[in-house]
Amino acid sequence: MPNNSEVGGPLAGRLDPISLKKNFSDLHPPLDSHEAAVAADRCYFCYDAPCVTACPTDIDIPLFIRQISTGMPVASAKTILDQNILGGMCARVCPTETLCEEACVREKAEGKPVQIGLLQRYATDVLMNVDDHPFERAPSTNKKIAIVGAGPAGLAAAHRLALLGNNVVILDAKEKPGGLNEFGIAAYKSTNDFAQKEVAWLLKIGGIKINYGKLLGRDFSLSGLRDEYDAVFIGAGLGNVRSLDIDGESLRNVQDAVEFISSLRQAKDLAELEVGSNVVVIGGGMTAIDAAVQSKLLGAYDVTVVYRRSMEEMPASLYEQELAKSKGVKFIYNSRPVQIVGTEGISSIKFQNTQHDTEFSLPADHLLKAIGQIMDELPLELSRENNKIKVDENFKTDVANVWAGGDCTSIGEDLTVTAVAQGRDAAINIHASLSGEI
């Protein structure tokens, strides 16, 4: 393999098309009907099941699994989607190993949980491939609600509001919907353009219109939305990334991991994507893991994730860390970057060990920053808490008729399933408020 000086930076086409197709195939192939029946039979159908408590969207997991075991996958999917309208994507990307499956009684007793995520995917996939749509709108309320952002929170809020008879307009800055489900998920977790297929299916409820290329603060204002609509829901996510604030950050081939993942997700030909020979990823969350694994799958020779705290403190789950290691990714803990070295492009990175106050360097021709996302600038009238939008228990802001949910809010984890739950619950509260129920 050529060394860093010979490479001169990231290159495209490190692997042949056959290898790339294999590397980016479905991480967890779907269950067939027989496999689903066998997996469902392992469920104890617990009363007061701990897996339900562990699910942020409160899906009745024993019920939907029992429906699969009795040959009713469409009814099973309806049980799932009643609570989580993006249940298909969540089945693919949720960290089930630290949520419902970790709480599973089988996991506690045997170390092998019921395959809840794969069973959820099986049921929702069956339903999305039948003609009948399982939801029907209520009579019109003649209310209009504006939603900022077509990510998981915005889409969940839009569907629930439309289901309840409201008319919804979503304004999104991107050229297609989905938010992080479309632009920020590892390509091997969501294949075959599933994010777009799921949105198209969701929109069959009717009463939802999406306007693309519309950015809050540039193309419209919050005050303007409040004048035109009965209510506003903000599900804008986190549009910016944190800076390392060290020397050399402006060198060539220093890149945001979110941008790297988005480019990969939108690429028509993976062979055209550039990746370094020696890739260093700084961060410890899911974005860092996704960026590192995909760098390796694109053909990077050496990929190292460097995290400032211990392995136990790493936000990414142990399962995801082990997945990365199985692909050849290396990990260095308790270390922080202090300088990026190079002339025009990066050649190495200097780190400081946070436990022993010693320094070391890693060769690098491609640096991916994954140290967290932050909010875009939002209207000044919105109060902030922990650098996010402050909301109450009903996801209402302190501005009249404005609600918010998802990653941009001050409560909950930054997960797809949490964003869906917040969007759904905010929508229920918006409808109740507009209809005079509260």
| Any domain includes 297 | yes
pLDDT digits (tens, 9 = 90+) for 76-122: 999 999 999 999 999 999 999 999 999 999 999 999 999 999 999 99
* Residue 38 pLDDT greater than 90, yes or no: yes
Do 245 and 232 belong to one domain? no
Which of 123, 116, 88 is CA-nearest to residue 100? 116
| Any domain includes 136 | no
Of 318, 346, 372, the position where a domain reaches its end is: 372
Which of 308, 313, 364, 358 is CA-nearest to residue 333? 308
CATH number at residue 341: 3.50.50.60
pLDDT band at 132 (very low <50, low <70, confident <90, very high): confident
Do 174 and 201 belong to one domain? yes
| Any domain includes 66 | yes
Q: What is the mean pLDDT of residues 3-25?
A: 79
Do 249 and 333 belong to one domain? yes
Token digits of residue 45: 């159908």
User: How many CB atoms neighbour CB 163 within 10 A?
Assistant: 19
pLDDT band at 131 (very low <50, low <70, confident <90, very high): confident
pLDDT digits (tens, 9 = 90+) for 301-323: 999 999 999 999 999 999 999 99
pLDDT digits (tens, 9 = 90+) for 187-232: 999 999 999 999 999 999 999 999 999 999 999 999 999 999 999 9
Do 261 and 368 belong to one domain? yes
Rounded Cα gap, residues 270 and 285, in angstroms: 24
Could you tell me if 39 and 282 are in contact, meaning their C-beta atoms sit under 8 angstroms apart?
no
Q: What are phi and psi of 396, to 5 degrees?
A: -90, 135
Do 261 and 321 belong to one domain? yes
Residue 198 identity (one-letter amino acid): E
pLDDT digits (tens, 9 = 90+) for 242-301: 999 999 999 999 999 999 999 999 999 999 999 999 999 999 999 999 999 999 999 999
Rounded Cα gap, residues 93 and 287, in angstroms: 12
| Any domain includes 397 | yes
* Average pLDDT of the chain to the nearest whole number: 94
| Any domain includes 170 | yes
Number of domains the chain is built from: 3
Rounded Cα gap, residues 159 and 203, in angstroms: 8
Please tell me the predicted confidence (pLDDT) of residue 5: 38
* Residue 6 pLDDT greater than 50, yes or no: no
pLDDT digits (tens, 9 = 90+) for 143-195: 999 999 999 999 999 999 999 999 999 999 999 999 999 999 999 999 999 99
Of 74, 97, 128, the position where a domain reaches its end is: 128
- Is beta strand 359-363 parallel, antiparallel or unpaired with respect to 346-353? antiparallel
CATH number at residue 66: 1.10.1060.10
Do 114 and 194 belong to one domain? no
Do 203 and 290 belong to one domain? no
By mean pLDDT, which of 5-14, 46-55, 112-121 is the weakest? 5-14
pLDDT band at 8 (very low <50, low <70, confident <90, very high): low
Of 372, 405, 423, the position where a domain reaches its end is: 372
| Any domain includes 165 | yes
Do 80 and 17 belong to one domain? no
Rounded Cα gap, residues 371 and 362, in angstroms: 18
Could you tell me if 180 and 237 are in contact, meaning their C-beta atoms sit under 8 angstroms apart?
yes
Give the per-residue SS3 of the chain: CCCHHHHCCCEECCCCHHHHHHHCCCCCCCCCHHHHHHHHCCCCCCCCCHHHHHCCCCCCHHHHHHHHHCCCHHHHHHHHHHHCCCHHHHHHHCCHHHCHHHHCHHHHHHCCCCCHHHHHHHHHHHHHCCCCCCCCCCCCCCCEEEEECCCHHHHHHHHHHHHCCCEEEEEECCCCCCCHHHHCCCCCCCCCCHHHHHHHHHHHHCCEEEEECCCECCCECHHHHHHHCCEEEECCCCCEECCCCCECCCCECEEEHHHHHHHHHHCCCHHHCEECCEEEEECCCHHHHHHHHHHHHCCCCEEEEECCCCCCCCCCCHHHHHHHHHCCCEEECCEEEEEEEECCEEEEEEEEECCCCCEEEEECCEEEECCCEECCCCCCCCCEECCEECCCCCCECCCCCEEECCCCECCCCCCHHHHHHHHHHHHHHHHHHHCCCC
Q: What is the mean pLDDT of residues 329-355?
A: 97
Do 258 and 175 belong to one domain? no
pLDDT digits (tens, 9 = 90+) for 372-406: 988 877 787 899 998 899 999 999 999 999 999 99
Q: Going by C-beta distance under 8 Å and a sequence separation of 6 or more, which residues neighbour residue 112?
A: 106
Do 299 and 407 belong to one domain? no
Rounded Cα gap, residues 55 and 310, in angstroms: 27
Q: Which domain holds residue 45?
A: 33-128
| Any domain includes 135 | no
Nearest-10 Cα torsion for 188, 190, 192, 197:
-170
Do 379 and 342 belong to one domain? no
Strand 359-363: give its sheet, edge to edge.
Answer: 335-342, 346-353, 359-363
Percent of the chain with pLDDT over 70: 98
Do 366 and 379 belong to one domain? no
| Any domain includes 134 | no
Rounded Cα gap, residues 260 and 255, in angstroms: 7
Rounded Cα gap, residues 126 and 76, in angstroms: 10
Q: What is the mean pLDDT of residues 3-13?
A: 63
